[in-house]
A and B are shown apart, each in its own frame.
Chain A
Amino acid sequence: MSEPSGVIHDIGYQRYTGPRLGRRHVFGALYLHGLRTAFGFGRSAKAKIFPWLVVGILVVVAAGVTAVRAQAGVVIMTYAQFPDVMSWLVIFFVAVVAPELVSRDLHSGVLPLYFSRPLPRGDYVLAKLAALFTALWLLLGAPQLLMFLGAAFSRDDGMKGVAEELGDVLPGMLYAGLWAVVFGAIGLLIASLTGKRAFAAGGIVAVFLMTTPIVGTLSIMPSQTVNELALLASPPTLVQGVGVWTLGDLLVPPGTEDTVRIGDFGPLYAVVLVAVVAGAVALLLARYRKVATS
């Protein structure tokens, strides 16, 4: 019986000795990656088609509105009305981006790799949420900025006019942020339930669209209280209700008040909106406490 003759060769493995970036940097990298994913940067041309289709339509509409206002002096829509009119495109954008952000990771089972880094599970969720919020806000805010620039340069009463426009566009941007928070939180929650992007996209659209007719039905019920509470039933109209309460005639120009009536329930709308967003985020955090793959 011969002696074992194994040898351990030194093939030059080395420990990493460079600086170790902590939790904050992991969060930042994940956020930036999510934001780039949303618009398809750093990926193939195919991944850019759908996000940029939506961006393109929104910018064209904003440019058209600006041109009409500059030439004919007619205000087709105020800054704050822009997200309302474009709500179907926003839903589509969420259905494109949210599955890209979370469903792919579930599908390919890379979550254990993420969580082997100094990255708490909550941070993963919050980074993805922040990326989706930012993407949605940019999507709605940038066309408003375009409209603002067009309006500011076509005012002929100097700085006073520009300041007036600024007073209109800033609440509009905040309102866009409200849209981003509500749609992002709900969309990401639905997308996180399945690893199949196709099903996630269908589910998001189904949830947002199936709630709209509930509002339509409730608002023709024979009770004024029910009519005024009807907007609570669907995310887009919930945001609209809060907007009507806080922005007033920036969102509902005089003469069109009949279309959205919320009565004295403004504070209730705000409370429900906060509760919906908080609930969606809490459910997302709970979902990611256990899940590894779908």
Chain B
Amino acid sequence: MSTVAWITARGLFGRRRFLMLFPLPLLLVGLATTSRALGVDPGQWGQPVLVGLGLAVVLPVIALIVGTGVLGSEIDDGTVVHILTKPLPRWQIILPKLAVAVGVTALTAGLPLYVAGVLAHSVRFGLALAAAATVGALAYSAIFLALSLVTRRPVLLGLVYVLIWEGLLGNFVSGTRVLSIQQYVVALADRLAPTGLLETPVSVPVAAVMSVVAALGFTWLAINRLRSFSMAGETS
């Protein structure tokens, strides 16, 4: 484990605010357990809990908080200069940070999704959800990490993407779903374990290719931006 990854992980978990990450996954597991215990048909609660909460809220919001936090909080308080002044190639800074972000996101979002998937259908469905969520975590984290280098307000811009693009427009203008990580995750999970609980207009090859393109493209963008990064003062 490289030093950069170590520092990043400590920055994430060393403070109390990482506790903020836990209510969302707990809620997901709690709702799935309650529905299962009361004998509600999974065909009814699967959609609101697994997609409505799990894939549309828990995964992107955790990826947003973690993904913008791994680099963004260091930029915010200025300590990023300590890393930038070390003779490290920029990819050796971006990749460990991305790995930590993906790992934490995949763990905190994938684990509850696995549990909820098992409760909804089968172990295979749970594993499919967790695997798809990991792919989603990779793409989301790459996007949000790059955002924290492109703009001074990465969280708000990320929220625009999650809330307005995926949430609002995805419901009304179906064409935007082709460019939505959430739909890729649904498509991949449905391909890995066809259950009839998930549905999406996006085809599996498109989802797989676009996820990889997003992950690689935004990682490259982040490395490239860090090459010419300049510290600026606080925005007004």
Contact = CB atoms under 8 A, between A and B. Distances in A.
A221 B38 contact: yes
A286 interface: no
A73 interface: no
B163 A92 contact: yes
A217 B168 contact: no
Interface string A185-223: 000000000101111011101100110111011001110
B61 A205 contact: yes
B159 A95 contact: yes
Interface residues of B, number: 41
Given A46-B236, A214-B27, A220-B40, A198 B155 contact: yes
Contacts of A198: 68-69, 72-73, 76, 153-155
B89 interface: no
Interface string A24-61: 00000000000000000001101100100100010000
Quick one: which of B65, B76, B156 has the most chain A CB within 10 A? B156
B155 A202 contact: yes
Contacts of A214: 27, 31
B24 interface: yes
A53 B160 contact: yes
Contacts of B34: 217
A86 to B, nearest CB: 9
A89 interface: yes
A92 B167 CA distance: 12
Contact of A216 (B48, B156, B159, B162): B48
B70 interface: no
A194 B24 contact: no
B52 A216 contact: yes
B10 interface: no
B154 to A, nearest CB: 7
Nearest to B24: A210
A213 B49 contact: yes
A205 B62 CA distance: 11
A202 B65 contact: yes
Contact of B57 (A50, A53, A95, A210): A210
Nearest to A194: B17
Q: Mostly helix, strand, loop or mixed at chain B's interface?
A: helix
Interface string B165-177: 0011000000000
Nearest to B155: A198
A112 to B, nearest CB: 20
A65 to B, nearest CB: 13
Contacts of B65: 199, 202, 206
B122 interface: no
Nearest to B30: A214
Contacts of A196: 73, 76
Nearest to B168: A88
A199 B164 contact: no
Contact of A201 (B35, B156, B168): B156
A222 B40 CA distance: 7
Nearest to B236: A44
Nearest to B44: A220
A106 interface: no
A205 to B, nearest CB: 6
Nearest to A199: B17
A50 B152 CA distance: 13
Contacts of B160: 50, 53, 92
A95 B159 CA distance: 9
Contact of B61 (A50, A57, A206): A206
Contact of A213 (B38, B40, B52): B52
Contacts of B31: 213-214, 217
Contact of B53 (A88, A202, A210): A210
Given A92-B160, A202-B65, A221-B40, A213 B153 contact: no
B167 A220 contact: no
A210 B59 CA distance: 11
Nearest to B21: A206
Nearest to B65: A202
A92 B163 CA distance: 8
A96 interface: yes
B236 A222 contact: no
17 contacts: A46-B152, A47-B236, A50-B160, A89-B164, A92-B163, A95-B159, A196-B76, A198-B76, A198-B153, A206-B23, A210-B57, A213-B31, A213-B48, A213-B52, A216-B48, A217-B45, A221-B35
Given A206-B20, A213-B48, 14 more contacts: A43-B236, A88-B164, A95-B159, A205-B163, A206-B24, A213-B49, A213-B52, A213-B57, A216-B48, A216-B52, A220-B40, A221-B40, A222-B38, A222-B39
